[in-house]
């Protein structure tokens, strides 16, 4: 499947019917960001540059940032961990995570009159060949526990060609529903929240399914279902892959209301407590 040919990638507001149709079919579409959101992407890069200069003593042009982050991590890996922890609190990240354009897109995609903005805003710095931090085959729902029709926005801060490792997904897998998982505590997975779950059918899915990926340019984003089966891919370059992930849910979803709006793994809500029927 060729993502570029399978769906239009340029929109100028609420999603066009053809894009909605592609999302319903595949569980994922590529968005062209409006100007103000692309400006926020640039502002987020600038905020990271300010931190690097003030804390790490690293001065960098915006275009050089992926290389400087990779170099810094080789010299001082814990320092990148501090930036990771701070990054979700940066003003541009927070503004992006509650932007009206994204909220309108989410409302249209989920067919809801009221959108819930997920508290977990995740800015990732994935380093070359650092596979231990990659997320295995999964759905976002067990981590987020928002609504079954929830969405994820995967937005790169820089051009992300295939060799830099954009997500890989199984087109149409959102229609499989919530897949059962095995749940692990953080001690079992060395404090890696990304590996707190394992799909019960993971070997079968890996063996029998075809994964798709596509380059995502700066100024674009992937929008996909919280039920889409996907995984991280290896960064085979010498640069850091930098992206922000923001999520929206349906505030009127019956499953969320009935279960008192679970907070998700980020704020300590275990999946086995909120949705025990999906945990083996």
pLDDT in tens, 143-194: 999 999 999 999 999 999 999 999 999 999 999 999 999 998 755 555 556 7
Q: Cα(135)–Cα(187) distance, rounded to whole angstroms?
A: 17
pLDDT tens digits for the chain (280 residues)? 344 433 434 333 489 999 999 999 999 999 999 999 999 999 999 999 999 999 999 999 999 999 999 999 999 999 999 999 999 999 999 999 999 999 999 999 999 999 999 999 989 999 987 877 788 999 999 999 999 999 999 999 999 999 999 999 999 999 999 999 999 875 555 555 677 899 999 999 999 999 999 999 999 999 999 999 999 999 999 999 999 999 999 999 999 999 999 999 888 889 999 999 999 9
Q: Cα(171)–Cα(230) distance, rounded to whole angstroms?
A: 9
Amino acid 29: pLDDT: 97
Q: Just give the CATH number of 6-278.
A: 2.60.120.620
Between the CA of residue 146 and those of 36, 124, 137, 189, 200, what are the distances in Å?
27, 21, 19, 23, 21
Which residues are registered as beta bridge partners of 138? 230
Helix axes 65-75, 77-87, angle to 10 degrees: 130
What residue segments make up the domains of the chain, in order of their start?
6-278
Q: What angle do CA 137, 278, 98 make, to 5 degrees?
A: 65
Burial class (CB in 10 A: 0-12, 13-18, 19+), 181: buried
Rg of the chain on CA atoms, in Å: 18
Q: How many CA atoms are closer than 13 Å to the CA of 133, on its beta-carbon side?
A: 14
Q: CA torsion 118→107→179→206, rounded to 10°?
A: -90
177: left (phi over 0), alpha (psi -120 to 50) or beta: left
The helix, strand and coil proportions of the chain, stated in percent and rounded to the nearest 5, come to 40, 20, 40
What residues have CB less than 8 Å from 204, skipping those under 6 apart?
none
pTM of the model: 0.91
């Amino acid at each position: 499947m060729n993502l570029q040919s399978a769906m239009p990638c340029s929109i100028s507001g609420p999603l066009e019917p053809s894009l909605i149709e592609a999302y319903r079919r595949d569980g994922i579409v590529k968005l062209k960001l409006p100007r103000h959101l692309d400006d926020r992407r640039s502002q987020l890069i600038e905020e990271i540059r300010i931190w690097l200069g003030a804390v790490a003593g690293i001065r960098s042009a915006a275009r050089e940032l992926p290389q400087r982050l990779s170099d810094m991590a080789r010299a001082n890996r814990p320092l990148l961990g501090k930036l990771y922890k701070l990054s979700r609190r940066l003003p541009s990240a927070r503004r992006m995570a509650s932007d009206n354009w994204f909220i309108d897109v989410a409302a249209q995609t989920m067919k809801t009159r009221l959108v819930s903005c997920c508290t977990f805003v995740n800015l990732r710095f994935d380093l070359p060949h650092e596979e231990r931090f990659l997320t295995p085959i999964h759905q976002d729902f067990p981590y987020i526990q928002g609504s079954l029709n929830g969405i994820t926005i995967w937005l790169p801060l820089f051009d992300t060609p295939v060799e830099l490792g954009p997500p890989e997904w199984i087109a149409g897998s959102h229609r499989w529903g919530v897949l059962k998982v095995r749940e692990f505590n953080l001690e079992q997975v060395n404090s890696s929240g990304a590996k707190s779950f394992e799909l019960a059918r993971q070997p079968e899915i890996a063996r029998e399914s075809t994964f798709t990926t596509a380059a995502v340019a700066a100024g674009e984003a992937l929008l996909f279902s919280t039920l889409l089966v996907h995984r991280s891919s290896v960064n085979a370059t010498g640069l850091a892959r930098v992206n922000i992930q923001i999520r929206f849910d349906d505030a009127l979803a019956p499953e969320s209301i009935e279960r008192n709006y679970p907070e998700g793994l980020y704020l300590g809500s275990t999946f086995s407590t909120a949705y025990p029927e999906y945990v083996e």
